[in-house]
Structures are given as structure tokens and as C-alpha cells.
Amino acid sequence: MRIAFLTAPEGVEEVELTSPWEAVGRAGWSPQLVSTSAGRVQAFRHFDKGGTYPVDHVLGGATSDAFDGLVLPGGVANPDALRMNDRAVGFVRDFFEAGKPVAAICHAPWTLVEADVVRGRTLTSWPSLATDIRNAGGTWVDEKVQVCHAAPATLITSRKPDDLDAFCSALVREFAAVRL
């Protein structure tokens, strides 16, 4: 399976990118970094610069058709930039319309809100997004991981880096179930 990891060029929380990336690799799948521009993505460790990661696909040339699932890592700046990019929002919406699984952690549900895909769904996130999710028609819960099987696509969400073990386990389990 080919799994897209969508990030802005700068601001992704490093551990929220690398931990799910490694989990996808351990499952025998191919993680692919998709961004709004070519080159490298600058990750952060909270407010400090982390590593940089090569972009595999640029939005505009990449479509959901090329992938089996989508992971949206958090960080505050990353989803804030993505939700202001029409191509990124459309890319996310396409996964839902195609019935492909999506996983989002921490602040990443901001992009889901912008894509108008949380209505009628139950999800979790960093607590400061609870009102945004409710205002977009979703139900917010304070759980390590939340799996929502509302049609047409499975959505896996998690709150923060401390929840990565649960998030990665659920992501692999749910993405594999869709593939069966």
C-alpha cells in the first residue's frame, strides 16, 4: 500500500511525522511525503527546528488516486498552513470522497474542518480544537485515539505525541482492514 503523508513545507511536528511513517514502513507499506512545494520539509520539535525530509510528491501533480490512505501529522503551523491551501484541502476531501482511510493527530483536524469532512463524525484532537470540531458538526472526545467508521471513509484521530503508540497501532490496524 502507498500511504500519503501530507505536510506544509514548514511546521510539521517531527515525531508526529516520523512515528507513523515508521509504523507504515514496519507494516510493509510505502510512506510517501506529499507537500505543497518541492524540495524538503522542515520539521519541528515543538518550537525548535528538527530535521528536514525530502518531498516525494507535490500537490497538483499528486492525487488521492495514487494512494491507499492518508496521514495528517500535526504541529500548530503545519495544519494552519494546509487549511489555507485549496489544493491541500481538496486533496484531503478527495480521500474521504473515495472512501479511503485518513489518520490525523494533534492539530491536524484543522485541515479536516476546512475540508468540511467532520460533520457527523466523532474525533479527538489537541484540546484547543474541540470548539472548531463541534462548530463544524463533529463530536469531540478526549481519548488517546478515536476511530470513526462513518461512511464513506474511516477516520483515525489522536490528541498529541504522548498518544502516538495508540495512534500508530490504530492506524495500521484500520488501514489494513480497509485493504482486506
The pLDDT tens digits for 136-166 are 999 999 999 999 999 999 999 999 999 999 9
Summarised one tens digit per residue, pLDDT across range 48-68 is 999 999 999 999 877 899 999
pLDDT digit string, tens, across residues 101-146: 999 999 999 999 999 999 999 999 999 999 999 999 999 999 999 9
Structural contact between residues 33 and 55, judged by C-beta atoms closer than 8 angstroms: yes
**Rounded-to-integer distance, Cα 169 and Cα 127, Å:** 21
Nearest Cα to 82, choosing from 21, 10, 154? 10
Domains held by the chain: number? 1
DSSP conformation class of 74: -
Are 86 and 76 spatial neighbours (Cβ–Cβ below 8 Å)? Answer: no
Whichever domain contains 151, its CATH number is: 3.40.50.880
- The catalytic residue positions are 106-107
| Range(s) of the domain holding residue 47 | 2-179
